[in-house]
């Protein structure tokens, strides 16, 4: 589904250019659960921004279901993002003056759905992340873990082909972080494709495949052995 071939990415130009990603070759199939690890500044966010069609200014080829993402213009990239990708970030990125219902509604409203039609859909999404009946609450009245669940429900709203999560547990304590990982594992069991960046070895071990990046290069790509599966 995701196929990067000789992808290079630099910030800036000429003598001050900074070569962030160096000859990345990466294939991710539908249904995979991948963790990307590496030190700060190694290029993890840069890589997943390319994978999630947030950044199309790179060299090399990225085939997503046989279309070359390098050829996408801004309109096409944003349409592809809204249709195919769900994003989850470290700091949840919820809109604070909107309630939970309205936060989850955001990606659905781009699809031209009527508010009344999506009421049932949103309660199903909230139920799937363990937040049944929370529609009318404001983000500030939820715990960090609950806010991240709302962000995950919002990311799932358009039934994306894959989820991208950049340090989804980075702002959570270890107990809450384990809860969120249970949720990701459940989504994966139901067939979801998840690409997650993390600093945390324990979090990465919950995935099926661990990719390590150092100075913009993939230095290892290994299957994670699970005791029970």
Ligand X SMILES: Nc1ncnc2c1ncn2[C@@H]1O[C@H](COP(=O)(O)OP(=O)(O)OP(=O)(O)O)[C@@H](O)[C@H]1O
Residues paired with residue 9 on neighbouring β-strands, in sequence order: 21
Largest CA distance in the chain: 56
**Residue 198 tokens, joined:** 């993390």
Q: Does position 45 bind Mg ion by CB under 5 A? A: yes
Site string for ligand X, 1-40 (x = CB under 6 A): ----------x------x-x-----------------x-x
Considering the complex, state which of residue 106 and residue 219 has its C-beta at the smaller distance from ligand X: 219
C-alpha of 85 from chain center: 7
Check binding of 168 to ligand X (CB under 6 A).
no
Strand (E) or helix (H) holding 82:
helix 74-84
Alpha-carbon span 84 to 66, nearest angstrom? 14
37 or 126: CB nearest ligand X: 37
Distance, CA of 27 to CA of 1 (rounded, Å): 8
Applying CB under 6 A, what is the total number of residues that bind ligand X? 11
214 scored as a contact of ligand X (CB under 6 A): no
Least Cβ distance, residue 159 to ligand X (angstroms): 27
The interface partner of residue 38, options being ligand X, Mg ion, none and the CB cut-off 5 to 8 Å by kind, is ligand X
């Amino acid at each position: 589904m995701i196929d990067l071939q000789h992808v290079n990415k630099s910030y800036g130009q000429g003598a001050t250019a900074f070569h962030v990603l160096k000859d990345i070759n990466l294939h991710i199939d539908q249904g995979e659960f991948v963790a990307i690890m590496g030190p700060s500044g190694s290029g993890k966010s840069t890589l997943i921004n390319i994978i999630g069609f947030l950044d199309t200014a790179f060299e090399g080829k990225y085939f997503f279901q046989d279309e070359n993402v390098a050829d996408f213009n801004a309109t096409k990239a944003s349409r592809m993002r809204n249709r195919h990708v769900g994003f989850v970030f470290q700091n949840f990125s919820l809109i604070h003056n909107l309630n939970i219902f309205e936060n989850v509604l955001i990606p659905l409203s781009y699809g031209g759905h009527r508010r009344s039609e999506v009421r049932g859909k949103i309660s199903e999404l909230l139920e799937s992340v363990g937040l049944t009946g929370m529609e009318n609450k404001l983000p500030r009245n939820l715990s960090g873990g609950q806010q991240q669940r709302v962000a995950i429900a919002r990311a799932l709203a358009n039934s994306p082909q894959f989820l991208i999560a950049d340090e989804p547990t980075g702002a959570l304590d270890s107990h809450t972080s384990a809860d969120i990982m249970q949720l990701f594992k459940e989504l994966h069991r139901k067939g979801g494709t998840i690409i997650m960046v993390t600093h945390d070895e324990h979090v990465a071990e919950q995935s099926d495949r661990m990719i390590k990046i150092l100075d913009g290069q993939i230095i290892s790509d290994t299957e994670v052995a699970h005791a029970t599966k």
